[in-house]
């Protein structure tokens, strides 16, 4: 009988390796349990992804506010992609950056979380679904990733919640390509417990390669699983409140 690896134990090993290549966060320093770090070579992963047809053909991309995706955000702005983002913790909801909103030459500034606030426009889920027909690609950083397609290690579940919300309003679906970005040391082919809300990814991008996952797990289709929300999420995340009120505030 196969023994499931304790994700907390496995992440300790990964984070020990990650310390050798990681770049500290201005707020959280080396606390990998609180943020997705940047690392040596993340720009090479961006180049690999941007050379693919799936990126070139994507018109609308959702990109998480993770540190290792700064160069991807800059590139997407330069390539005139429509970008959807959230802030850290989704406490301010969803934001839209359309081609032309960022002045030429300011793409690098806008790739930073402090810089993007000068240009992005807040959107409720209702507004976002009116403007966006379909999200072609979603890209998230990850604490650890398995080739089977599961992210694990940090445990906050923000990306799973973002998928649940965007799929609920119909602008992300089975045709949306999901990418997980991390350093090579963060890829671990180990069995981990999979929850019903875990959003499996299609490809892993590292500084050296693109890995197509084994697609072992279906995408969640139940939307927000209200009973599984962490304490405070419903109160602190505006689009979660928005979806809650669609059902409970009538």
pLDDT digits (tens, 9 = 90+) for 102-124: 999 999 999 999 999 999 999 99
* CA distance linking residue 135 with residue 152, whole number of Å: 24
Q: Which of 27-36, 129-138, 173-182 has the lowest mean pLDDT?
A: 27-36
Contact call for residues 168 and 223 (beta carbons, < 8 A)? yes
d(CA 206, CA 41): 8
Please tell me the chain's helix, strand, coil percentages from 3-state DSSP, rounded to the nearest 5: 35, 15, 50
Distance of CA 25 to the CA centre of its chain: 17
- pLDDT above 90 (res 239): yes
pLDDT band at 81 (very low <50, low <70, confident <90, very high): very high
Count Cα atoms within 13 angstroms, Cβ side, for 12: 4
Q: Does pLDDT of 2 surpass 80? A: no
- Exposed, middle or buried by CB within 10 Å (0-12, 13-18, 19+), for 51? exposed
User: Residue 51 contacts by C-beta under 8 Å, 6 or more apart in sequence?
Assistant: none
Of 222, 210, 229, 160, residue with least CA distance to 50: 210
**From CA 169, how far away is CA 13, in angstroms rounded?**
38
Average of pLDDT values for 8-13?
80
> With the CA atoms of 84, 88, 94 and 100 taken in that order, what torsion angle do they form, in degrees rounded to the nearest 10?
-40
Question: Would the pLDDT of 97 be above 80?
Answer: yes
To which H or E segment does residue 181 belong? strand 177-181
List all residues 6 or more positions away from 205 whose beta carbon is below 8 Å from its beta carbon: 45, 48, 49, 179, 180, 181, 182, 211
Phi and psi at 241, nearest 5°, equal -60, -40
pLDDT value for 85: 98
pTM, 2 dp = 0.94
Query: How many CB atoms within 10 Å of residue 60?
Result: 21
Q: How confident is the model at residue 1 (pLDDT cuts 50, 70, 90)?
A: very low
For residue 60, the SS3 value is strand
pLDDT recorded at residue 11: 79
Distance, CA of 77 to CA of 92 (rounded, Å): 21
| Long-range contacts at 51-59 (CB < 8 A, ≥ 24 apart) | 52/210, 54/137, 54/177, 54/203, 55/137, 57/136, 58/136, 58/137, 58/177, 59/136
| 43 vs 46: CA distance, rounded Å | 5
């Amino acid at each position: 009988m196969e023994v499931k690896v304790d994700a907390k134990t496995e992440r300790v090993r990964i984070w020990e390796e990650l310390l050798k290549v990681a770049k500290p966060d201005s707020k959280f320093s080396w606390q990998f349990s609180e943020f997705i770090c940047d690392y040596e070579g993340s720009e090479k992963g961006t180049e690999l992804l941007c050379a693919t047809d799936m990126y070139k053909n994507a018109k609308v991309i959702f990109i998480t506010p993770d540190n290792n995706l700064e160069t991807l955000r800059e590139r997407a702005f330069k390539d005139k992609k429509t970008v959807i983002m959230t802030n850290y913790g989704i406490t301010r909801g969803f934001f839209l950056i359309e081609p032309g909103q960022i002045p030429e030459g300011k793409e690098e500034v806008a790739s930073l979380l402090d810089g993007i606030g000068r240009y992005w426009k807040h959107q409720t889920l209702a507004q976002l679904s009116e403007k966006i027909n379909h999200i072609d690609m979603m890209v998230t950083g990850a604490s650890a990733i398995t080739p089977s397609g599961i992210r694990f290690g940090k445990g906050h579940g923000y990306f799973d919640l973002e998928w649940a919300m965007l799929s609920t309003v119909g602008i992300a679906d089975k045709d949306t390509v999901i990418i997980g970005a991390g350093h090579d040391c963060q890829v671990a082919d180990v069995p981990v417990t999979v929850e019903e809300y875990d959003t499996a990814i299609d490809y892993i991008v590292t500084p050296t390669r693109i890995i197509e996952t084994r697609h072992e797990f279906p995408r969640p289709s139940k939307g927000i699983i209200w009973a599984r929300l962490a304490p405070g999420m419903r109160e602190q995340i505006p689009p979660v409140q928005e979806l809650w009120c669609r059902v409970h505030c009538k």
